[in-house]
Amino acid sequence: MKNRCMRRTLLIALLIGASGVGAADVACAQDFGKGIAEALGFATETPPPAPFVQQSRPTGDLPWVNIFATPAEPARKPLSEAERQALQRSLEGIDKRNESLIAKPAPQPNAAHRYGKKKTPPDAASPGESGTP
């Protein structure tokens, strides 16, 4: 039993080592490793993306965006004191309106709404009272 485990471990080590030893470049090593994985049943081929996905992807090289760069200053001029105060009053008015909405109690549904209305059939006219002679 111990010898079988050692043989299996040695075989796996040889396969892993052989996949990288004979390869002249990384692509060749990856192809060789993929071949071993396919032979063992571990690798699969991914299908190409759907046409709408291919059509929605941009073509060519995309511009590189430096995420660590300092963002540019806004193009808008700073607010004057009068504009700032007007904006402050507007925001305070919105805040007061929201506070008044929160302070109102929520409407309570009536019992018929809570437990379901009992449907009563409309008064059916008797056959002789249809209104036609």
Q: Can you give the pLDDT at residue 66?
A: 85
Residue 102 is encoded by which pair of tokens?
């929160």
Neighbours of 19 (CB within 10 A): 19
Q: What share of the chain is helix, strand, coil (3-state, %, to 5)?
A: 55, 0, 45
62-98 per-position pLDDT tens digit: 888 888 988 888 888 889 999 999 999 999 999 999 9
Q: Which residue has the higher pLDDT, 2 or 71?
A: 71
Place 127 in a pLDDT band, splitting at 50, 70 and 90.
low
Contact of 36 with 19, CB cutoff 8 Å = yes
Q: Would you list the domain boundaries of the chain?
A: 2-43
Q: Can you give the pLDDT at residue 23?
A: 46
Tell whether the model's pLDDT for residue 132 goes beyond 60.
Answer: no
